[in-house]
């Protein structure tokens, strides 16, 4: 069998293993290991396994991952999600559909201290769903807005998937965080506009209710201060050059823990639970990274990424059309696997294609393909890729956020949740179109910081 056919067979085998519910890390380790063994023999596999784990896990850039995971685990136990939703609802709840808008805003705020879409959807679902039910929101709008709001956790910094992408393409994590800010804010605006249009068409889906009195409004607004301070110190410290992402994450962990201790929401039991959750999540991420590295070695040895790049470059398609096709492929793959696994598996294939189309693989070289340097292309493509990866979290048949919210809203059929999430899906498509048409939205803040 020729190498390219072997590589395609390996990818098919990987998809089948995932379809049979084999954990993605084990599936990639199996396919990558067997593939390397087939091409170069078992000796190379054993040699790689001897040093590969250390080579992958000792990357200093990855040290930020467990710290941000721990910050999110502590934040979910410290009551920050309740404070965020209460504050946002005090400001927006009096509008028609306002409680759903508040849920979106709270999801964005919690994503800023959590960095995980599933954790954001799960935590905010527990907080906001009872209120949405109390104010008699339709099942579709209530569950759909929460499932969609959860995807904000993957892009609004700090984001674990964004960090992993930066490590894969060797981009600056601080720069990627800066690039995600405006697209993240754009998502919140578009989601709130989507709710406004939804309730304008179906007023009964999001009834208007009375606002809170001044005392409650004041207290709820004061409750937003801790999250604002934590978010400001962590990201402000990074952008201001006071510390790198890993120390910044450690500062965030300390601040959330201090807040939890002060409010008596985090004791020894909650701290131990957060550490256990962090260990489990980080172990899963690192094992996926190991499997992805084996897959990368296998695919590189048979030349499939290079062949894919050559085929795309020689296809005669314009660079923008190729980019759109790659983004569409990410949406399709998002229906089959989780976001982190998809980024690890697909980016090593897609990134060489874009570098070639941009006019060369030399970092910093100006290319004619997209009219930007390779470093800027890394940033722009990374944000676009993460947005379409988000779509997989609310797209059938997998739609992990939909499953999470549906498990909480047992009185709402999953079909209703998918109906409710579709307007937000189209809002995300509009966001991708805007960012494709105007790359400066993504690149403005990184250029400002580098200038």
> pLDDT tens for residues 294-350?
888 888 888 877 787 777 777 778 888 889 988 988 887 776 677 777 888 788 888
**pLDDT computed for residue 423 by the predictor:** 95
**pLDDT computed for residue 446 by the predictor:** 92
In a shared domain, residues 48 and 78: no
Query: Is 125 contained in some domain?
Result: yes
- CA pair distance 196, 31, nearest whole angstrom: 47
In a shared domain, residues 130 and 197: yes
In a shared domain, residues 144 and 271: yes
- CA pair distance 153, 146, nearest whole angstrom: 12
In a shared domain, residues 244 and 203: yes
pLDDT confidence tier of residue 270, bands split at 50, 70 and 90: very high
Query: Is 132 contained in some domain?
Result: yes
In a shared domain, residues 150 and 14: no
- CA pair distance 345, 99, nearest whole angstrom: 38
- CA pair distance 342, 206, nearest whole angstrom: 35
**What is the full DSSP assignment across 129-175?**
HHHHHHTT--HHHHHHHHHHHHGGGGTSSS-HHHHHHHHHHT--HHH
Residue 9 has pLDDT above 60, yes or no: yes
Residue 289 has pLDDT above 90, yes or no: no
Across the range 51-79, mean pLDDT stands at 85
Query: Is 260 contained in some domain?
Result: yes
**pLDDT computed for residue 91 by the predictor:** 92
Q: Are 212 and 136 in contact (CB under 8 A)?
A: no
Query: Is 74 contained in some domain?
Result: yes
Residue 444 has pLDDT above 90, yes or no: yes
Query: Is 156 contained in some domain?
Result: yes
Out of 302, 334, 352, a domain closes at: 302
Residue 366 has pLDDT above 90, yes or no: no
Q: Which of 107, 184, 3, 194 is nearest to 404 (CA)?
A: 107
Query: Which range (91-95, 98-102, 220-224, 303-307) has the least confidence?
Result: 303-307
Question: Which has more confidence, 234 or 317?
Answer: 234
In a shared domain, residues 177 and 70: yes
**pLDDT computed for residue 398 by the predictor:** 66
> pLDDT tens for residues 162-213?
888 998 888 888 899 999 999 999 999 999 999 999 999 999 998 887 778 8
User: Encoding tokens for residue 8?
Assistant: 């395609």
Residue 95 has pLDDT above 80, yes or no: yes
- What does pLDDT average to over the chain? 86
pLDDT confidence tier of residue 146, bands split at 50, 70 and 90: very high
- CA pair distance 152, 120, nearest whole angstrom: 8
Task: Give the CA dihedral 108, 248, 72, 413, nearest 10 degrees.
Answer: 30
**Hey, is 366 helix, strand or coil?**
strand
> pLDDT tens for residues 370-380?
888 889 999 99
**Taking the model in full, what pTM does it have?**
0.87
Q: Are 177 and 197 in contact (CB under 8 A)?
A: no
Q: Which of 384, 400, 396, 293 is nearest to 330 (CA)?
A: 384
Query: Is 54 contained in some domain?
Result: yes
Residue 142 has pLDDT above 90, yes or no: yes
For 409, which DSSP code? -
- CA pair distance 304, 309, nearest whole angstrom: 9
In a shared domain, residues 211 and 296: no
Question: Which has more confidence, 242 or 100?
Answer: 100
Question: Which has more confidence, 119 or 190?
Answer: 190
In a shared domain, residues 71 and 88: yes
> pLDDT tens for residues 392-415?
788 876 677 888 898 888 888 888
Across the range 350-355, mean pLDDT stands at 85
Q: Which distant-in-sequence residues (6+ apart) come within 8 Å of 11 by Cβ? A: none
- CA pair distance 40, 206, nearest whole angstrom: 61
Q: Which of 65, 71, 76, 186 is nearest to 442 (CA)?
A: 186
In a shared domain, residues 158 and 69: yes
17-39 in b/e form (b: 16+ CB < 10 A) is bbeeeeebbebbbbbbbbbbebb
In a shared domain, residues 5 and 98: no
**pLDDT computed for residue 451 by the predictor:** 66
Residue 70 has pLDDT above 80, yes or no: yes
In a shared domain, residues 47 and 193: no
- CA pair distance 33, 45, nearest whole angstrom: 6
pLDDT confidence tier of residue 368, bands split at 50, 70 and 90: low
Query: Is 403 contained in some domain?
Result: no
In a shared domain, residues 274 and 296: no
Domain count for the chain: 2
- 53: containing domain: 1-58+291-302
Residue 364 has pLDDT above 60, yes or no: no
Percent of the chain whose pLDDT exceeds 90: 35
pLDDT confidence tier of residue 382, bands split at 50, 70 and 90: very high
């Amino acid at each position: 069998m020729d190498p390219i056919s072997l590589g395609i067979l390996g990818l098919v085998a990987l998809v089948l293993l995932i379809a049979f519910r084999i954990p993605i890390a084990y599936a990639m380790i199996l396919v990558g290991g067997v593939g390397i063994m087939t091409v170069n023999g078992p000796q190379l596999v054993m040699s790689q396994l001897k040093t590969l784990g250390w080579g992958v896990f000792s990357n200093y850039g990855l040290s930020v991952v467990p710290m941000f995971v721990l910050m999110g685990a502590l934040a979910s136990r410290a009551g920050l999600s309740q404070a965020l939703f209460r504050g946002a609802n005090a400001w927006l709840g009096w509008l028609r559909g306002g409680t759903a808008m508040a849920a979106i805003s709270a999801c964005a705020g919690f994503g800023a201290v959590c960095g995980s879409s599933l954790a954001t959807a799960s935590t905010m679902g527990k907080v906001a769903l009872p209120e949405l039910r109390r104010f008699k929101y339709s099942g579709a709008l209530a569950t759909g807005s929460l499932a969609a709001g959860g995807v904000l956790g993957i892009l609004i910094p700090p984001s674990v998937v964004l960090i992993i992408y930066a490590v894969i393409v060797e981009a600056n994590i601080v720069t990627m965080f800066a690039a995600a800010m405006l697209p993240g804010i754009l998502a919140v605006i578009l989601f709130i506009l989507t709710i406004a249009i939804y309730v304008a068409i179906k007023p009964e889906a999001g009834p208007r209710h009375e606002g809170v009195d001044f005392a409650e409004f004041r207290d709820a607004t004061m409750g937003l201060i801790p999250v604002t301070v934590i978010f400001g110190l962590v990201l402000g410290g990074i952008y201001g050059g006071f510390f790198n992402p890993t120390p910044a994450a450690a500062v965030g962990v300390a601040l959330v823990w201090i807040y939890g201790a002060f409010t008596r929401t985090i004791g020894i039991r909650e701290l131990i639970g957060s550490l256990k959750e962090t260990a489990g999540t980080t172990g899963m991420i690192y094992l996926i990274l190991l499997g992805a590295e084996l897959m990368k070695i296998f695919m590189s040895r048979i030349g499939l990424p290079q062949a894919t790049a050559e085929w795309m470059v020689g296809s005669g398609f314009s660079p923008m059309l190729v980019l759109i096709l790659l983004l569409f492929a990410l949406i399709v793959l998002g229906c089959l696997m989780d976001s982190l696994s998809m980024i690890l598996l697909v980016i090593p294939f897609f990134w060489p294609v874009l570098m070639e189309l941009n006019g060369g693989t030399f970092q910093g070289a100006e290319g004619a393909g997209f009219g930007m340097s390779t470093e800027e292309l890394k940033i722009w493509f990374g944000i676009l890729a993460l947005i379409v990866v988000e779509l997989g979290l609310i797209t059938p048949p997998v739609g992990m956020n939909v499953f999470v919210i549906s498990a909480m809203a047992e009185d709402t059929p999953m079909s209703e949740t998918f109906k409710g999430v579709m307007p937000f899906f189209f809002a995300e498509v509009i966001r991708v179109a805007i960012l494709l048409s105007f790359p400066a939205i993504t690149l403005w803040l990184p250029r400002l910081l580098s200038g």
